[in-house]
Structure 1
Amino acid sequence: MGKSERLFQLVNLLKGRRLAITAKALAERLGVSERTIYRDIQHLQSSGVPIEGEAGIGYLIADYPLPPMMFTYDELTALLLGSKMVDAWTDTQLGANAKSAIAKIEAVLPHHLKQQHDHSPFLVSSYHHGPQQQAFSAQLRTAIEAKDVVLLHYQDAELRQTQRIVEPLGLVYWGGKWTLVAFCQLRHDYREFRLDRILNVESAGQRFTCHAQKNLSHYVALVKAKYAALAAEGRDGADCDSSPA
């Protein structure tokens, strides 16, 4: 571990603690000597990091806003990969925000990290994620945040067109398609709707509320329980129709 990464880890270990941590404990966590910890703390203190404490007692960082610290290469890889996924697989508004984040991250990359990033083995393809996949994403995100009931004009796998009044709860990416998870007012239950099969979205002029038995986390818990039960029966769910409405 290099010095800059060690200093970063040291700050993370110290900040937000209610009780002081000793140099010995810090040395064991970081795999270095106590002497190195003392030198690092002096270096951070001289740089303006508000570390409180003393040898033999322990150290912590006061409740003080710290400047951004440099990310490790692996952390930058994760951030950039996630931003590229957002850019490729979501709507144009989120994509623009992702591009802006990528530009800001790349602008401050040290030269050696920039070279590593240029040779990253990860590629995010936007194939199969065209305008039809993204058409209603921004509109539905807004409805979810505002808890607005919407009228969906929808076409199912058999090309039958229907209309549903639903309470939109979340957008879920299943590794190939985006779906809207919603509470259907007709069926009085959760339903999934593939974004690439939505023909139009209109506001129903109503608001809805969530509760313990009607929210995205509850839906996810039900899905997990369903597949846990299938696994317990020795089935992998392949014979269970899990396709969205």
Structure 2
Amino acid sequence: MKPPLLERTLLKAIPQIKIGIITSYHIVIDDSPQMLRGRFQFFQEALQLELAEKPYDTFQKIENWRSMLKALQLSPKENLPSSELLLQQVQAGRKLESIHSASDINRFLSLQYQIPIELYDLDQLHGDITIRLGLETDTIIHEDNQKLEVKNLLLSSDSKGPFGSPIFRYNRAEVTKATTNTLQIFYLNPELTLDESHQLLQAADRMFHQLHGGQSKIHLLHD
């Protein structure tokens, strides 16, 4: 698979944007082992205590994300990224239940780095992949069967059209225990240097593959 492309109009709107891509091959996904479930639960409890003292909306990384949305003329309150929704749940004391090993690690990393991280079944995607802004002609059916307009929203798209976004849940390439090849899309903190971005992706990749095996490729997309 060729590395995804960053659309020029997106780069023009947010010149500092950095997208990390990890493609993983020949992995094995299963129920999360007790070690991962325990670590995930402990991390949530520690984070909840931190959020009781300092609400997530005061975090600098959250403010950086909101600044990017404002650059796209989008309301941060109406376009919450997946990372912020996870932080909301933890702050409210709602336990994030285990789904499977790949999803659990993905949510763990999203909370740890406070960034949206998308996870897809690579074999359900088609042709070239582009990270782009939604067009007037783009419409998708949300998980509640409502038609959603996505103009100016951040989208992941293949030859069939949009397949996901860091802002809303729309996943026609959902990862399950039967998945053997995955695509992860990291919406990195724009304040990270290129070296820091590579280090984050390498650390995330090690954690993912220590549990799932297989091989991977890492790409960093930027201007």
TM tier, shorter chain? under 0.3
- TM-score of the pair, normalised by structure 1: 0.21
Bigger radius of gyration = 1
Q: Which structure's relative contact order is higher, taking Cα pairs within 8 Å and 6+ residues apart? A: 2
Which has a greater percent of helix? 1
